[in-house]
Structure 1
């Protein structure tokens, strides 16, 4: 095995990457000025081409949940797209239910303390505070331990009470 092949294996293998201290997918999101809560719990690995920003994140299965009882989200087992500072573009693998229709989330852009989600012809903006905690498949943020963590964050910092 050549040195470059070994280096690629070390960089992109989730198991070996954890041993070498490679950043997690959640830490990579933060490096691009996004909160970790854009991804649900359960990311088992990712790949990122630093020159193009093309990425792939793998979950341990497809994932669905509701947020605050109003938005239903669905993450496929594999999510792909491009990432740059404050921008996720050409996304595949994330959809949101609007009324009776499932729409693909195509772009996510950070604008100051807000995050804009685009489904093509329409978009919606939400406060960054809503994404500090990663949702859990099946129950979103209303799971036992996540709900307690949310409440504690809100008490420690009143500006986070809408999380």
Structure 2
């Protein structure tokens, strides 16, 4: 009976210890994206750390090294440090994410969500994409097509950047 009591005590202490540890862990950067109503695929796999000031929305996200990959006809580049301001359904003042259009690399400065659509702005140019394209996080080097097959991300409803008014 005494050994049963000791075992029960040990289990209770262990469970309370592990639950206190898991309760204090900060959310992953991918969970933070979801808190602000963005899909996890906005960031590639391999984020090593992040900083977020919840009072202002200012953030920094860190990768081990710069990351490039193709998504459809677009070549995207993520620098090792990405920064900006996040609020519900809006990323603005972005730095560290660019897209190659023709021969130019242009900084993606803002992303906003409207329903199931995401709009990426590059100065006066913008493009919209279905949110379903960002359900998974892309991988550096191969994007969403890492198995040599057809892209899993689905069809883009607009496959070019256009002038906005």
Among 57, 74, 77, the residue aligned to 1:74: 77
1:19 and 1:149, CA in 2 relative to 1: closer, same or farther beyond 3 A?
Answer: farther
- When residues 18 and 55 of structure 1 are mapped into structure 2, their CA distance, relative to the original with a 3 A threshold, is farther
Larger gyration radius, structure 1 or structure 2: 2
Are residue 109 (structure 1) and residue 102 (structure 2) matched? no
DSSP-derived class of the 1:28 partner: helix
Cα 1:137–1:48 change in 2 (3 A) is: same
Conserved 8 A contact 2:144-2:151? no
Return the structure number with greater helix share.
1
Conserved in 1, the CA contact under 8 Å of 2:133 and 2:154? no
Which of these residues, 16, 31, 34, is aligned with residue 35 of structure 2? Answer: 31
CA displacement 1:36-85 (0-9 Å, x = unmatched): 000000101101001100000001210000012x0000000000000000
Q: Distance in 2 between matches of 1:149 and 1:119?
A: 24
Alignment TM-score, normalising by the size of structure 1: 0.77
Instruction: Name 1:97's counterpart in structure 2.
Output: 100
Match of 1:124 among 111, 122, 127: 127
Q: Cα offset for 1:100?
A: 1.0
1:1-163 equivalences in 2 (<5 Å): 20-68=24-72, 70-144=73-147, 150=152, 161-162=154-155
List structure 1 segments (4+ residues) > 2 angstroms apart after TM superposition: 17-21, 147-150, 160-163
Q: Secondary structure at the match of 1:140?
A: coil
Distance, in Å, in 2 between the alignment partners of 1:92 and 1:27 is: 21
Query: Per-residue deviation at 1:162?
Result: 3.5
Residue of structure 2 equivalent to 1:155: none
Alignment: residue pair count = 136
Structure 2 gaps of 5+ residues are 1-20, 157-165
